Amino acid sequence: MEITLESPLDMHLHLREGAMLRQVAPLSARHFAGAVVMPNLTPPVDSLERLRAYRAAIMEAVAPFTFTPWMTLFFRPYPTATLAAARDEIIGVKLYPEGVTTNSAGGVRDLEAVEDTLAAMERLGIPLLVHGETHGFVLDREAEFLPIYARWAKRFPRLTIVMEHITTAAALELLERFPNLAATVTVHHLLTTLDDVAGGLLQPHLFCKPIPKRPEDRAALQAAALRAHPRLMFGSDSAPHPRERKEAAACAAGVFSAPVALALLAGLFARHDALANLQAFVSDNARRVYGVTPPARRVRLARRPWQAPERYGDVVPFYAGQTLEWQVTDVEP
Ligand code: DOR
Ligand code: ZN
């Protein structure tokens, strides 16, 4: 069994900087024609100058692959003129509530105080990407954030709001209520639950924010992805950390899935007899939601078992050392 995908896209990706960027970026660029690049560096990407330098470093790291890094600015209460100047160089602005995840210390403290900026983004047609978690009990953080999404979706009906890495059935229900909401979902949230992370021996390489939830949440996410819900996009949230930051007393959040994501998705869709919907889920939905055109690149996968590497440099991937049913067999550079 085989499938050829036209320009697969990863609509939520952490590439880091320096040696880590050079290590992980080619692994994404090999399988994906483009990706939405997250701005949670230290310090965050919050100026056009920094964004341009980061984009240039990414382009250098992905060569010779043809790969579009769609850049995001880290949310600040930017003046309208700053947003207007940035508009043609960004795909959106990423909002992190303060302190909810890796490198979000500079995030938003007062979610009531962002509305002027959201109004300007709506006028300028700049999408808002959101890490939607509160500071509540860890399993309830996404659910507690849903009313905030609803309020913004209602108040700014022409603002495209992307609920990043959704993990609950409740988030999918909200997606149905507002046409200006879209969402990304990761491959690890499609495949794991909290049991995989903490039900047996603790699995640091599966630990991420938001934490994977209940089996019924995963089932709802799978159902929506497998039918390629038109406003649901694949976003890996692949988030590499060096092994010593994961296998540690204070384990960093993040699953490094970039090199295995497409193969795992093909396996999931094939098992559910839904391969015909994979193109929409990994590319076409994103093109429509964001109005972007990726570079034309075909990526072929086949049902041929392979063993995922134990490491890429000092980063341990999702499914390290395990056998995957499907593999990427051919890529156009
Ligand atoms: O698990 C996560 N890791 N979740 C995030 O939101 C950020 C990411 C990271 O940057 O490591
Ligand atoms: Zn992320």
Tell me which of 237, 273, 284, 330 is the catalytic residue. 237
Contacts of 122 (CB under 8 A, 6+ apart): 156, 158, 159
pLDDT at position 102, please?
Answer: 82
How confident is the model over 204-252, as pLDDT tens digits? Answer: 999 999 999 999 999 999 999 999 999 999 999 999 999 999 999 999 9
Q: How far is the CA of 74 from the centre of ligand 1 (A)?
A: 14
| Ligand closest to CA 44 | 1
| pLDDT for residue 54 | 98
CATH number for 8-294 (one of 3.20.20.140, 3.60.20.10, 3.30.565.10, 3.30.70.260): it is 3.20.20.140
Question: Can you tell me which atom of ligand 1 is nearest the CA of 131?
Answer: 6
Say how many Å lie between the CA of residue 39 and the centre of ligand 2. Answer: 9
Closest-approaching ligand to the CA atom of 208? 1
Coil, strand or helix at 331: strand
Peptide bond into 64 cis (omega under 30): yes
Question: Where residue 101 falls among pLDDT bands split at 50, 70, 90?
Answer: confident
| AA identity, residue 292 | V
Report pLDDT for 170. 98
Instruction: Specify the ligand 1 atom closest to the Cα of 255.
Output: 1
Output the ligand 1 site: residues, CB below 6 A.
14, 40, 101-103, 131, 208-209, 239, 253-254
12 CA from centroid of ligand 2 (Å): 6
For atom 4 of ligand 1, the residue with the nearest CA is: 209
Q: CA 222 to CA 226: how far, in whole Å? A: 6
**In one letter, which amino acid is 127?**
P
pLDDT at 311: 98
Is 237 an active-site residue? yes
Spans of all domains in the chain: 8-294
Q: Which ligand is nearest to the CA of 235?
A: 2
Nearest CA to ligand 1 atom 2: 254
pLDDT digits (tens, 9 = 90+) for 35-55: 999 999 999 999 999 999 999
